Amino acid sequence: MAEQMSDDEGQQSPPSDLDFTSNKARTCIVTGSVSGHTEFQSPYPDQVLENVLENVLHFLTSRRDRNTASLVCKSWYRVEALTRSELFIGNCYAVSPARATARFTRVRALHLKGRPRFADFNLMPHGWGAHFNPWVLAFAKACPWLEKVYLKRMSVTDDDLATLAESFLGFKELVLFCCDGFGTSGLANFVSKCRQLKVLDLIESEVSDDETDWILCFPEGESHLESLIFDCVECPINFEALERLVARSPSLKKLRLNRYVSIGQLYRLMVQAPQLTHLGTGSFSPSEIAGQGDQEPDYVTSFAACKSLVCLSGFREIIPDYLPAIYPICANLTSLNFSYANITAEQLKPIISNCHKLQVFWVLDSICDEGLQAVAATCKELRELRVFPVDAREDSDGPVSEVGFQAISEGCRKLQSILYFCQRMTNAAVIAMSRNCPDLVVFRLCIMGRHRPDHVTGEPMDDGFGAIVMNCKKLTRLAVSGLLTDKAFDYIGRYGKLVRTLSVAFAGDSDMALKYVLEGCPQLQKLEIRDSPFGDAALCSGLHHYYNMRFLWMSSCRLTHQGCQQIAHAMPRLVVEVIRSADEEEMDVCDQTLYMYRSLEGPRNDAPKFVTIL
């Protein structure tokens, strides 16, 4: 997205978009003639085009539209790069930092992704790569006006954070999602030097406890903070320093606390910041050191005073007796996250019955089908639902089933995204979802337990998933599970024409299943497969499409070393990595992981010993 140049005093600005010497040079060229008279000539046609393009492309915000514009011709390619202020790179190994900074010279915001998603499930050994260090060093030299960095599944060190703070004087936003490698001492150094910091969001990241008081290191005086998220930080914080920081941050809108913040401390923070729109409550239970004779604050009043609050999360060590405190704000909520709150349907009902504006709801399956029925009865504006398991074991007795699933489809017909963990499901319920919620863009049904059929009929779940791809014409992301034959993948190949991300686990009969998908889904970008019976023939069926994909992941399938090598020889611009467990010297290829991705640079130079690049 094009962003305005910062007016902050002393901040370095990027070079002008095009290398013209002056504004006059953009409208005319002055030359001398033989007679001594000055002649005015029109500018070169290419210059006129670039002037117009420069002004037009500033308003082109979609990165896909920008990518398309850059392919028109060399002139468009050049001007598009010079006017791009936000750079998104979906795989940090797809392009080198040097190439990125050479082409995009005015970048103010960098979005960078590292490890693939299956790394979240311990399917990738620690130390695989995705280091931020070469990127921050390259941007420090080429783009000192960088203001925002968003990293996902990257390894970030304390030194990287120091480089960020010291190299970019106007740095404003840092978001670390599922990142690791840094600690509280690195955070302390970073926040102490970033005086214009507006956003520090640490989301599902691993932060080591260096016993450093990082909250205390924020600069004194009025803070520019607009968002502070640290609910993933698993160590105590200096609450007095946090309270002072919140008090001197009048622009703070988003605050998500970790489990070491008690409900009594939450009350004190809410008194200081009634302007909050997004709140993560911390533990939502009293401190262990609170005196038994102490009078508890009026939590109901404190929540009622936060009239702008629309997004509520946290509840990490919840005591349900305190839930009535949030009743006053339920009517305004558009997002509610109970994914850490082990509550029952009876505890949920008084809350959800007032959430008529709710659009996003994350919850544990402890609310059972009865709780989901209550959601369906009230939340008619719901767009996104995620139901997570309290007990993720395959042999557990799941408290939610097709009953709650079908209730949601009948009551929440504006649903666009669903992630649903369960132990039991039926084709009939999935077919009903496809008909009742045709606007679904994301459908992820995770039937825990391998090869589970329709628990009523005993049939495979083929028809249910087939109905989803047939009836949900906007579907771009699909995760399949349960007992599935090749027939389900035939459906996906025939009707999933917009599917960009497909996740498969314990599914399929033969190589034909994968062949249906690779030959039938022209928009496929990310394909994740584990524990499925796909071999070399299935892998080779995608030769025509792999250059158009961001990556392919296959773990515990039926591949051979020869099949993987064949792909590497046939597609030299594809990086083919074979990953084994870090503690295993040799493994059968069937037990290893194949990770393939396109790259302009070829094989990376930081691969650990357990990675073989073919």
CATH of 50-81, one of 1.20.1280.50, 1.10.3720.10, 3.60.20.10, 1.20.120.430: 1.20.1280.50
Q: DSSP assignment of 187-237, as one string?
A: HHHHHHH-TT--EEEEES--EE--S---GGGSPSSS---SEEE-TT--S--
| Mean pLDDT, all residues of the chain | 89
Q: Are residues 232 and 255 in contact, defined by beta-carbon separation less than 8 angstroms?
A: no
- List the structure tokens of 368: 């059972």
Is residue 3 predicted with pLDDT exceeding 70?
A: no
Q: DSSP assignment of 390-402, as one string?
A: SS--TTS--S--H
Give the model confidence (pLDDT) of 114-127 as tens digits.
Answer: 999 988 888 889 99
Is residue 575 predicted with pLDDT exceeding 60?
A: yes
Q: Are residues 465 and 489 in contact, defined by beta-carbon separation less than 8 angstroms?
A: no
**Predicted pLDDT of residue 9:** 36
3-state secondary structure of 336: strand
**Predicted pLDDT of residue 45:** 57
State phi, psi for 104 to the nearest 5 degrees. Answer: -105, 100
- List the structure tokens of 286: 């009293």
What distance lies between CA 206 and its chain's CA centroid?
16
Could you count the other beta carbons within 10 Å of the beta carbon of residue 25?
A: 13
**Predicted pLDDT of residue 23:** 34
**Predicted pLDDT of residue 5:** 32
Is residue 293 predicted with pLDDT exceeding 80?
A: no
State phi, psi for 460 to the nearest 5 degrees. Answer: -60, 165
pLDDT band at 587 (very low <50, low <70, confident <90, very high): low
Q: What is the mean pLDDT of residues 532-552?
A: 95
Give the model confidence (pLDDT) of 172-223 as tens digits.
Answer: 999 999 999 999 999 999 999 999 999 999 999 999 999 999 999 999 999 9
Q: Are residues 201 and 176 in contact, defined by beta-carbon separation less than 8 angstroms?
A: yes
d(Cα 274, Cα 266) in Å, to the nearest integer? Answer: 12
pLDDT band at 15 (very low <50, low <70, confident <90, very high): very low
Contacts 24+ apart (CB under 8 A), 158-162: 158/182, 158/183, 158/185, 158/186, 158/189, 159/133, 159/186, 160/132, 160/133, 160/136, 160/186, 161/186, 161/187, 161/189, 161/190, 162/186, 162/189, 162/190, 162/193
Is 562 buried (19+), middle (13-18) or exposed (0-12) by CB count in 10 A?
exposed
pLDDT band at 586 (very low <50, low <70, confident <90, very high): low
pLDDT band at 31 (very low <50, low <70, confident <90, very high): very low
